[in-house]
Structure 1
Amino acid sequence: MSLKSLPLSFFVLGLSLATPLVAQAQRIVPGAALPHARYDFYGRKPYRSSVPTPAQLLGYEAGDTHSTYREQEKALLAMAAAAKDRVRVFEIGVSVEGRPLRLFAVSSAENLAKLDALRASNLKLSDPRTQSSAEADKAARSAPTFVWINHCIHGDESASFESAMWLLYTLAASESTEVKSALASAVVLINPVFNPDGHERFVVYNNSLALGIPEGDTLEQRQPWGISGRYNHFRFDMNRDKLSQSQPETQAESAAFLAWKPQVFVDQHGQVENYFFPPNSDPVNREADAKRIEDWTSVFGRANAAAFDKYGWQYVTRERFDLYYPGYLDSWTTLSGAIGMTYETDEGGRLAAKRDDGTLITLRDGIAHHFEAALATIEAAAKNRERLLTDYVAYRRSALTRASAEPMKRIVIVPGTDPDRLNALAQRLQRSGIEVGVAASAFVSETAHPYLTPDGKPTTQKQTFPAGSLVVELAQPQGRLAKTLLEPNTALGDAFLKEQNAKRQRNLKKNDAEPKEDYDFYDITAWSLPFAFDLTAFWTEDSAPPATRALAAPPKPTALPDSPTPPAYLIRYDRERAAVLALRLLAKGYRVGALTKPGKAGGVVLERGSFVVRTERNPESVHKALRALATELGVPVVPLTSAYTDEASVGLGSFTLQNLKRPRIAVVADDMVSQTGYGSVWHFLERELGVSFTPIRLRSLRGETLAKFNTVIFPEGYGYAGALGKAGADALREWVSGGGALIGLASGGTWFTEKDMNLTAATVVGAPPADAKPDDKEKEKKPEDRLKERESRPTALPGALFRATLNREHFLGFGYAQDELIFPLLGDTFLKPTTKGSNPLIFPKANLLASGFAWEGNTERLLAETAAVIDEPTGGGHVLLYLSDPTFRNLWPGLNRLLLNGILFGPSRTYGEE
């Protein structure tokens, strides 16, 4: 029997089983008296008695304990079933771990009876091309506004999770004038739990030991590594995933948002010292229309303030939380036309806590604050219904008019050698509701602007684009979001930049022990998708659009013939999935080789990095396995009819055809590892590559355990050197010498440079020499000398993109079609090149910055001619250091091959040594 078909009596019957829960809840509620009267969640009287309260369904009141996913599901579905005249339930997807994702639509009985028609009308309003301004204004005068309240994107921000139940109950059951009036003018969309997997992980842990102790470093105040419910199954931060759309929860929520296109979107978070609601701090994304967002967030901010002032609750606005990076839910929805807002409650995740002044705040308080803010927002939206709708249409229409008036009319992205990558970029745009087309034939632009030029200066040129180029017209309703995601650089305001640079100058002049000012960057400042996907892009000024066709999946390669049996198969490394195919074959126990130099055999050109499967060295089953995997991955395979070498010195029998090793991968998973860093590596290996790995504790990296693996990956993390010590580093070095590949990503690799580790000859820019001694005259240094010394060290970058030169003859460069990559940098660690090994990816002397923010006079000066990726050959193996993690948030698919190559070639013979 499905949950949809369960009768209400089924849930009510279960109330008798809830007695133990009540007792448990009473035991764990903090006993300290609250500094204010107990908040009443049932203050919107009268209520319809036919709708059960959450407390009746759960067996406890709000904040008494943390509810599980199933408890929330039971309560929500029972209330919805009892209020069918006001509530409809939609299943929108499934989480990674298989939990249903649902959306609850709530409105008046009159609106709900014609909900499908209202939604269709709202979607028509969202596309100004479908009706005139007069028609849209007429429709806005009678249509309800759509308001989306999003709960629990971070699973341990539990006040948001709990408040969904009391919000649904109030909207479904209250007969108060305020609620009924709001529902007559608004359709409320409740997403009760964005991240159910993370929440369940948190709740099971917390409920197993929580005592409601509000102070101290207790178990309930701290979540162990791997338990943290903030992240989803793959430990992705879901409020950073809108840009990559990598997780099924994000994809489901985005699809549902685009199916409704609300005018207001609230994303509930926690926990902060004082409740936050907008207006936001700077910077605000320029495509969000700063005046528009300021006007509307002031409307909702004042409504929230009035609700909070009624109870004497504290709150804060215009601090910390900006609206710039498009990966947030509030930014992404704002750029799609809604008034997107983040609300941060001041408790949740614990039953009780103490503020910095010693006063007590409880989970119940946090729930109450989110509950009141949601209702205040809904009521304010309803009161401003017509203005919201007309303004929404105007914003969506402005994307059409601005694109027609401004020089940048469209983005054109050249296909390149890997059709999968262009298709993946197009699909990512479509998940954001952006219209894309493919050039039906070659076309010419007289005013094309390349994203990159040799001297770094912008230029205009005549450009011929081939058929199959991706074309994105900015004159479309989602044009503002499209421009933000695709333009080469999203500018920051002059006043904001001036203030950050002024802060830096003040910080440089301060004494070492003097507190420094924080910079106001909340997240990364660069994300341009053509750069991220390693694709060549232009923007053009031409008024007339080229002829395009709809996007279609890349054609599957011709199936391999059943016979005759060739002596070998060639898999050209012109696409990323070729390496994935090689990895999958190796994982199944088949033997695969790779050419470290170009050659020719049987009349077929053999490019460097190409994979070769020799039938003589494999069992008969290789033909069927290769055929199946090649078909699944869409990778062309060329049967070689002869191994005879002609017109070149390299062939199938050459020593430059290196045997690759079956991957036996360990990934460090420990308290010192960034959970999101581990999660992005996990997702890359399991979901992108389809290969298995073993998570391993740091203290296990020695002896017989270490010998089981030929590849060890250190994700981003901290304190590795101190935890391993010299003995641990020596054990790793000995293992590498035996043929292993030690891979360090971001801070998971820069510790290789630390004193006594002796894992690489590379050093950190600005670090004192290894043999440096304490300076007894430090106190005597003049201020100008200290300033000069500080200027010799990089100031931390908030996240930007830089040009880097790739050595394609090195195995890490195999498969790339060009000698330049765009590489992301975050933080203050730059690497001087190794003097013993190889530096396959180096930042050039000049014109480094491709996109985002860099510190003037500091970043590019110190970054020039430093290393982005380092290979330190050690005995028969390799130590590989990546200054940034290519798997970070799944944002940089263009860098995938760098890591793929490290896994494929690192533990194998790659230099032709005998």
Structure 2
Amino acid sequence: MRLIFFVVFVGLQSLLCAIAKPLDFYFSDSVTFDPSIAKPSEVLGYEVGEWHVRHDQLVQYLQVLAKQSDRIKIETIGYSHEQRPLLLLTISAKKQLENIDTIRKDHITRLSSKGQDNAGPAIVWMGYSVHGNESSGSNAAMLVAYYLAAAQGAEIDKLLANTVILLDPSLNPDGLARFAQWANSNRGHVLSSDPMHREHVESWPSGRTNHFLFDLNRDWLLLQHPESKARIAQFHKWKPNVLTDFHEMGANSTYFFQPGIPSRTHPLTPSKNIELTNSLAQFHAKALDSQGQLYFTQESFDDFYYGKGSTYPDINGAVGILFEQASSRGHVQNTINGTLNFSDTIKNQLTTSLSTFEGVLQNKVQLQNYQQQFYQSAKKLAKNDDFKGYIVAANGDKQKLTAFLDLLKQHHIEVYPLQESYKDYLAGDVFIPLEQSQYRLLKAIFSEQTSFKDNTFYDVSGWTLAHAFNLPFEKLKSSRNLKLADKPWAPKTERSRRKLDNAYAYGFSWQQFNAPKMLNFLLSQGIDARVALSGFSAATNTKERHFAPGSIVVPAGLQKNSKWLDILTTASNRYDIDIHGIKSGLTTQGIDLGSRFMRPLKAPKVLLVGGEGVSQYEVGEVWYHLDRHLGLAPTMIEQSRLAKIKLKNYSHIILVDGRYDHLNDLLASQIKEWVKQGGVIWGHKRGAKWLVDNQLLKASSISKKEMTEQFDTHELAYQDRDKLSAKQRIAGAIFATDIDLTHPLSFGLGRATLPVFKNSTWLLKPADQPFITVGKYTSSPLMAGYSAPENVSKIAENASLIAHRYGQGSVIGMTDNPVFRGYWYGTSKILNNALFFGGLLTVQGR
């Protein structure tokens, strides 16, 4: 019996040793370490790669290193949504670290100084695991930090003397924690390498995303989340010469490092950037060659969208490098290249981290010269451009403009408010001059390019920020006639306090971005509020005002809460929206305050459907919008549990893009009955398709197959298949739609042209029935990004938004995601209106 136990014990130990690798597995025998510096295993209690490190363990170890090593300064630069600390380690030689702020300031000063000065150290940003379930990066970060803290000899001394290394060990702490819990929870003492084992197949949602289920690697430009905001603040504080971005890809791949496909580089990226990327690539190839590791370059990935971690640096004077390691997605997995251990993936990430350091040392002068030239040439390029800058209008919504300007400010773009009106632009609108250090980034943010050298895109092809905010803008050839503020725009630090006088009723505009959030607050506090379905003018306590359709009215005589006026005053100040006291129910023009067109409102109770088959990104984007911009907590539920829910407890159901396989005929009939009884159901993309397929939305569609078959495939060679696929899809472009401004779903938009973000070929046809097609693509709809001419022609003048009554309820279908990646403030108004006014539709679908 003892013999059997011994054999089993030895067998288990052998299996554990297969992944529990000591430091000599990761580092060359030539590297010696200071024994007074703690190894990872001495703090974690296990060898690196034996378990997936939790974020709290990662933080603990790095804090120990910072205490023990005089080469490391550690700081918390922010907190994730789940309040996990965002760490940044500044690593350099002891003498430099003692004078680090001066070194940083000198580095920034050199960028605008004439001539070239390479006396200072190169700044290298090492970023790991922006996708939480690509965790080899964060696990490797521990080893990189240990090496920089404890390695001894001439090689490390030279590295630390010539660089300042900024180490970001976990770009997505919440996702990393979620995935570590998953992988560790499903790991046995006897490891399973079967790709079908639960450990390798995450449930919905995956650890890739952050708390709100966003892909943070698409947020570097958009800055919707605290992780991104904290990182970009530090990026511009330091302006690194090189930034690395460590990822993972499918288990059956090998290892990728940039350069990617040359033709898929954004045209605003200087050719010298590509040259330096190629120079650094030689060091990665040499390091991986020495270890017999397979790898590839110049295929699959691109450097086009400036909102990614490896590409944002390229438009900011740095060299961004993407690394992609085949993922074990657990502790060990069978692949076409043999057994892939988690420790193997970590070692490769460590190897290319060290080769990055070697490459930077060898190219230090070239990297510094390039960055200086990048910024010093910006104003010269601006002077030679054929226009002077962009003028942008608030379009009646100063809060939305403020959010847009705050985003630009975080990217160090200077903006100047207009002091006086200019043509159709009003005082308070803004001018953004080209002649500034962020000239290239500014051009990228406003780009409306629709023709490209290579039409295949790994990510989006158009991201014009002003279109996303639905802010009218134009290029100006001269700024001579503009009267501008002397100083760049800056957010207000103080707000004026509002006080409401007694009145018959109170009203506020629906056009301001915060209006829906304020309305939701008022309704949650028991305030009786009405929406004006038609416009009116009325005498207020200050002057006569016009209230557009969609304006909210709070009649004093209907309030039951004794503190209702205090609540109204609090709301006005909290959400920075003027509430006007109306003197009488008899208006001077339009409907009176007791009109049948003044409809009572209720706080929405939203059921947001997710689960397997449904896009976690789009569920997260809707959840984030409701939470952040409406102060509304939806009930999120997997579609597999929907049959167990009492639908009568909810006013709205939202179906985002996805496959709704669990919504069988019985459940579909229950949903139909719920709508007939007064429910409002919203669907976009394949969510809208489900509404059409189940005859809730009375519309016909153009299928993906129909869109695909319009392309001529005769005489295509086998090698043309990728090019055909690129033409057939829409990889994220911006299209123009015309909106019926008299419809309740368009209240507060301000103009009939509404840009939408489109990354799907599924379409709705305009309805034959009048009054239910709310939005249509224009006759020439492509505004920015790539879409094949065949697709553009097919999209033109088809429906973008259809809505109608269904029994006592309403059905609303949209072809596009109104809250894409959290920054589409313009189309988010449509979703807001569906939540508050969707039940007020009067035209029955037939």
Who is 1:251 aligned against? 229
Aligned-residue offset at 1:118: 0.7
Query: Conserved in 2, the CA contact under 8 Å of 1:489 and 1:528?
Result: no
Q: Secondary structure at the match of 1:724?
A: coil
For residues 346 and 912 of structure 1, what CA distance do their matches in structure 2 show? Answer: 53
Deviations 1:430-460 (A, max 9, x none): 11222222223345xxxxxxxxxxxxxxxxx
> How many pairs align?
811
Equivalences for residues 515-594 of structure 1 within 5 A:
520-542=456-478, 547-548=484-485, 549-553=487-491, 559-561=497-499, 563-564=501-502, 566-594=503-531
Structure 2 letter corresponding to 1:29: L
Q: 1:901 aligns with which of 821, 833, 839?
A: 833
Who is 1:509 aligned against? none
Per the alignment, do residues 555 and 373 of structure 1 end up closer, same or farther by CA in structure 2, a change over 3 Å counting? closer
Query: Conserved in 2, the CA contact under 8 Å of 1:83 and 1:172?
Result: yes
For residues 268 and 783 of structure 1, what CA distance do their matches in structure 2 show? Answer: 41
Equivalences for residues 130-529 of structure 1 within 5 A:
131-133=113-115, 137=116, 139-140=117-118, 142-211=119-188, 212-226=191-205, 228-272=206-250, 273-281=253-261, 282-289=263-270, 291-357=271-337, 359-442=338-421, 465-489=425-449, 492-493=452-453, 496-497=454-455, 520-529=456-465
- Stretch deviating more after TM superposition (571-580 or 760-769): 760-769
- Stretch deviating more after TM superposition (194-203 or 539-548): 539-548
Aligned-residue offset at 1:293: 2.3
Q: 1:598 aligns with which of 530, 535, 558?
A: 535
Who is 1:674 aligned against? 615
Aligned-residue offset at 1:464: 6.3
Who is 1:504 aligned against? none
Q: Secondary structure at the match of 2:442?
A: helix
For residues 759 and 538 of structure 1, what CA distance do their matches in structure 2 show? Answer: 41
Q: Secondary structure at the match of 1:102?
A: strand
Who is 2:50 aligned against? 64
For residues 815 and 641 of structure 2, what CA distance do their matches in structure 1 show? Answer: 25
Query: Conserved in 2, the CA contact under 8 Å of 1:665 and 1:693?
Result: yes
Query: Conserved in 2, the CA contact under 8 Å of 1:285 and 1:324?
Result: yes
For residues 576 and 842 of structure 2, what CA distance do their matches in structure 1 show? Answer: 27
Who is 2:669 aligned against? 730
Question: In the alignment, does 2:68 pair up with 1:82?
Answer: yes
Q: Secondary structure at the match of 2:268?
A: helix
Deviations 1:544-572 (A, max 9, x none): 686333324469886554543x2211112
For residues 601 and 767 of structure 1, what CA distance do their matches in structure 2 show? Answer: 50
Who is 2:799 aligned against? 867
For residues 319 and 817 of structure 1, what CA distance do their matches in structure 2 show? Answer: 45
Query: Conserved in 2, the CA contact under 8 Å of 1:803 and 1:820?
Result: yes
Aligned-residue offset at 1:162: 0.5
Who is 1:834 aligned against? 767
Per the alignment, do residues 28 and 156 of structure 1 end up closer, same or farther by CA in structure 2, a change over 3 Å counting? farther
For residues 19 and 420 of structure 2, what CA distance do their matches in structure 1 show? Answer: 74
Who is 2:776 aligned against? 843
Who is 1:638 aligned against? 580
Deviations 1:498-517 (A, max 9, x none): xxxxxxxxxxxxxxxxxxxx
Who is 1:796 aligned against? 729
Q: Secondary structure at the match of 2:180?
A: helix
Per the alignment, do residues 556 and 581 of structure 1 end up closer, same or farther by CA in structure 2, a change over 3 Å counting? farther
For residues 208 and 61 of structure 1, what CA distance do their matches in structure 2 show? Answer: 18
For residues 879 and 543 of structure 1, what CA distance do their matches in structure 2 show? Answer: 48
Who is 2:40 aligned against? 54
Aligned-residue offset at 1:579: 2.4
Per the alignment, do residues 700 and 332 of structure 1 end up closer, same or farther by CA in structure 2, a change over 3 Å counting? same
Who is 1:891 aligned against? 823
Deviations 1:710-764 (A, max 9, x none): 111112221x1x321222222111111111110112222222122xx11112122
Per the alignment, do residues 70 and 44 of structure 1 end up closer, same or farther by CA in structure 2, a change over 3 Å counting? farther
Aligned-residue offset at 1:703: 7.7
Question: In the alignment, does 2:743 pair up with 1:810?
Answer: yes
Per the alignment, do residues 831 and 478 of structure 1 end up closer, same or farther by CA in structure 2, a change over 3 Å counting? same
Per the alignment, do residues 146 and 38 of structure 1 end up closer, same or farther by CA in structure 2, a change over 3 Å counting? closer
Aligned-residue offset at 1:476: 1.7
Q: Secondary structure at the match of 1:252?
A: helix
Deviations 1:313-362 (A, max 9, x none): 111101111011111011111111110111111235311112224x1111
Give the share of equivalent positions with the same residue, in percent: 27
With the length of structure 2 as denominator, give the TM-score of the two structures: 0.91
Aligned-residue offset at 1:422: 1.0
Per the alignment, do residues 595 and 404 of structure 1 end up closer, same or farther by CA in structure 2, a change over 3 Å counting? same
Deviations 1:762-818 (A, max 9, x none): 12215799xxxxxxxx9xx9979xxxxxx9x99321111111111011110111211
Query: Conserved in 2, the CA contact under 8 Å of 1:655 and 1:912?
Result: no
Query: Conserved in 2, the CA contact under 8 Å of 1:844 and 1:865?
Result: yes
Per the alignment, do residues 653 and 559 of structure 1 end up closer, same or farther by CA in structure 2, a change over 3 Å counting? farther
Aligned-residue offset at 1:470: 1.8
Query: Conserved in 1, the CA contact under 8 Å of 2:55 and 2:177?
Result: yes
Aligned-residue offset at 1:630: 1.4
For residues 846 and 698 of structure 1, what CA distance do their matches in structure 2 show? Answer: 37
Who is 1:751 aligned against? 690
Per the alignment, do residues 572 and 339 of structure 1 end up closer, same or farther by CA in structure 2, a change over 3 Å counting? same
For residues 271 and 703 of structure 1, what CA distance do their matches in structure 2 show? Answer: 37
Q: Secondary structure at the match of 1:146?
A: strand
Per the alignment, do residues 695 and 767 of structure 1 end up closer, same or farther by CA in structure 2, a change over 3 Å counting? closer
With the length of structure 1 as denominator, give the TM-score of the two structures: 0.84
Aligned-residue offset at 1:45: 2.2
For residues 25 and 309 of structure 1, what CA distance do their matches in structure 2 show? Answer: 33
Aligned-residue offset at 1:699: 4.3
Deviations 1:168-220 (A, max 9, x none): 11111111332221111111110011111111111112211213311231110
Query: Conserved in 1, the CA contact under 8 Å of 2:771 and 2:843?
Result: no
For residues 640 and 24 of structure 1, what CA distance do their matches in structure 2 show? Answer: 83
Per the alignment, do residues 98 and 355 of structure 1 end up closer, same or farther by CA in structure 2, a change over 3 Å counting? same
For residues 888 and 686 of structure 1, what CA distance do their matches in structure 2 show? Answer: 15
Aligned-residue offset at 1:646: 3.6
Per the alignment, do residues 309 and 570 of structure 1 end up closer, same or farther by CA in structure 2, a change over 3 Å counting? same
Per the alignment, do residues 186 and 598 of structure 1 end up closer, same or farther by CA in structure 2, a change over 3 Å counting? same
Who is 2:721 aligned against? none
Equivalences for residues 681-700 of structure 1 within 5 A:
681-700=622-641
For residues 631 and 25 of structure 1, what CA distance do their matches in structure 2 show? Answer: 65
For residues 395 and 458 of structure 2, what CA distance do their matches in structure 1 show? Answer: 34
Per the alignment, do residues 763 and 406 of structure 1 end up closer, same or farther by CA in structure 2, a change over 3 Å counting? same
Q: 1:29 aligns with which of 7, 12, 16?
A: 16
- Unaligned runs of 5+ residues in structure 2 are 1-8, 716-723
Structure 1 letter corresponding to 2:114: S
Question: In the alignment, does 2:73 pair up with 1:96?
Answer: no
Per the alignment, do residues 269 and 259 of structure 1 end up closer, same or farther by CA in structure 2, a change over 3 Å counting? same
